Amino acid sequence: MPDNRALPIGVFDSGLGGLTVARELMLALPDESLVYLGDTARCPYGPRDRDEVREFVLQIGSWLTQRPVKLIVIACNTATAAGISLAQRVFDIPVIGVVEPGARAAVKATVNRGVGVIATVGTINSGAYSTAVRSLDAGVTVYSAATPRFVDVVEAGLRMDDSPLEDWISQTADVFIRPSFYQIARDYLNPLKRAGIDTLVLGCTHFPLLSAAIQQVVGPNVRIISSAEETARDVAETLSIRGQLALPGRGHRTFYTTGDPIEFERLGGRILGSATGVVGKVELTLLESLIDDSMRAQKDAFESEEDACS
């Protein structure tokens, strides 16, 4: 195996949410360098068609492998649900997503074997969490709810410090939230509470920013799981087993966006808890140009196999 210990880890998300995963990676693996791409120009992924999200996974995976990177983290549940198997097939470096680590943490945490999952429409419709949980413990029942408005709440809340604050009075989260959030949250979460869950997976990388507020709504008896920490552990273990951990010394972190770099730098720093440094811009036309015929053929073959198995 080539000595690629000095190469960065590639991380991507539909936008800013994946920075919650980058933050954990930076804490768990301070020596590692990271290259992060937030596809803000095409965010949200949640309501998009699975095929389209798969295409984005291939484009960004190709961009990262060309840097090059030694491992890819898909720090987006929607992209993981749609594209991790395909990405693992196409790229010749390890690809780690956030669904399996979140499912594993939930299975470890639940006592009554009732687990709730909240996520985007794309993630919930994929059934990825139910499949992942069942493969770990077939006795656990998963209750799922798509909570797309939570993504909007986080996106709006992050942009809040530029706007008048009068009616944005709550700060029981890492972002500003309106009091009306609690009614939206109760509507989404009460059915899960009534089902008797004792564990709730935040199946979207935006949601850890609402964690404290969600905890208030579900009450103290429900354990909240964010897959970020478990994902960071997976990355550390994978690199360690492969002898690819970086040598001691602080890693470099570089951030890119397909959207507005100035905005990404301003908002990203708030999520990371430290400055991003100058954020680079990646044009969508560049990403689109990275899918060649051979990759398209691999995608077609993968999908034919998938259809044959279903």
Residue number with CB closer to ligand DGL (33 or 123): 123
Residue number with CB closer to ligand DGL (12 or 176): 12
Best CA proximity match to 276, nearest among 259, 258, 256: 256
Catalytic pick among 201, 204, 210, 267: 204
Tell me whether strands 95-96 and 141-146 are parallel, antiparallel or unpaired: unpaired
Q: How far is the CB of 150 from ligand DGL (least distance, A)?
A: 9
Residue number with CB closer to ligand DGL (132 or 246): 132
Q: How far is the CB of 292 from ligand DGL (least distance, A)?
A: 26
Q: Which helix (H) or strand (E) holds 72?
A: strand 71-74
Can you tell me which residue has the tokens 């797309």? 148
155-193 burial, b if ≥16 CB within 10 A, otherwise e? bbbbeeeeeeeeebebeebbbbbbeebeebbeebbeebb
For 256, how many CA atoms within 13 A lie in the half-sphere containing its CB?
A: 19
Best CA proximity match to 72, nearest among 37, 24, 120, 121: 37
Catalytic pick among 76, 106, 140, 287: 76
DSSP 228-260: HHHHHHHHHHHHHHTT-PPPSSPPPEEEEESS-
Q: Where along the sequence are the contacts to ligand DGL (CB under 6 A)?
A: 13-14, 17, 43-46, 76-78, 120, 123, 151, 204-206
Q: How far is the CB of 111 from ligand DGL (least distance, A)?
A: 26
CA distance 35 to 16: 14
Using DSSP, state whether 302 is helix, strand or coil. helix
Tell me if residue 309 is catalytic. Answer: no
Residue number with CB closer to ligand DGL (7 or 84): 84
Residue number with CB closer to ligand DGL (246 or 271): 271
Would you state the structure tokens that stand for residue 299, as one six-digit string? 């995608």
Q: How far is the CB of 63 from ligand DGL (least distance, A)?
A: 18
Question: Among all residues, which ones are annotated catalytic?
Answer: 76, 204
